[in-house]
Amino acid sequence: MIIDGRAIETQWWGPDADQAPTLVLLHEGLGCVALWRDFPDALASATGCGVFAYSRFGYGASDPVTLPRPMTYMHDEALSVLPRVLDATRVRRGVLIGHSDGGSIATIYAGAVRDARVAGVVLIAAHFFVEEINIASIADIKANYEQGDLRQRLAKYHRDVDVAFRGWNDAWLDPRFRAFDIADHVARIQAPVLALQGADDPYGTPEQLRVLERLASRQVETWLMPDARHSPQLEAKEATLAMIVPFVRKVLMKAAA
């Protein structure tokens, strides 16, 4: 896919957008298409929907970006790139499913844009504000990248691994990023929301879910998942599917009525 003259890596599972609703996957801060692993295929099989994923600029096989990323990089993705991606895929009706940074991007988009195509939003370990546990874990992962084997492992998935890692890590560790807060977008989401978080998530506390429960103006379901850390879709895949699949069916049925 080409957006603004630059290439974005994409992958599709299941039926095309003209044959069934589409579940749009938005990856985490170090993710890409490949790092969803077998979760998209499982989603497509369980729901009968098409599943579409793309690697944001600077990730996977997508074209790189210039560093440093701006402090507004998630807002920029949600309000500038994501709408063009949705248009290019010709999605008619579907659900946004965002993990970590991808969940924050989905929140910003759903809160800022009245998009009739979006029947619901699934947020997995999304960040609505910055917590100390979040910053401490991101500082630890920087040490692993520089001194451990993380760079070597991530290099298997990213065309420019330093751009992928530094773009995310440097932004979050910049003191200016402490001001990141998207509670206003949470309050403006008009679609139903399902939010999941691992009980042992090192990047956020259950207060992230509490913010959603307090502020969301539409139907909200939240689940704190045992035996999961930051990636329930991989660490507790069956339990995650058991929550997402009925939610998807319900919101799509309501949207089609």
pTM as predicted: 0.97
* Domain covering 2-256 assigned CATH 3.90.1150.10 in the classification: no
Q: Cα separation of 49 and 171, whole Å?
A: 35
**In this model, does residue 167 exceed pLDDT 80?**
yes
pLDDT at 257: 72
**In this model, does residue 66 exceed pLDDT 80?**
yes
**Strand 193-198 to strand 10-13: parallel, antiparallel, or no bridges (unpaired)?**
unpaired
Which tens digits make up the pLDDT trace of 212-237?
999 988 889 999 999 899 999 999 99
**In this model, does residue 123 exceed pLDDT 80?**
yes
- Radius of gyration of the chain from its Cα atoms, rounded to whole angstroms: 17
Comparing CA positions, the residue from 68, 26, 72 lying closest to residue 181 is: 72
Three-state DSSP class for residue 194:
strand
Question: From residue 25, how far is each of 1, 105, 142, 143, 174 by CA, in Å?
Answer: 15, 11, 26, 29, 27
Q: Cα separation of 27 and 37, whole Å?
A: 11
Comparing CA positions, the residue from 43, 42, 53, 44 lying closest to residue 9 is: 53
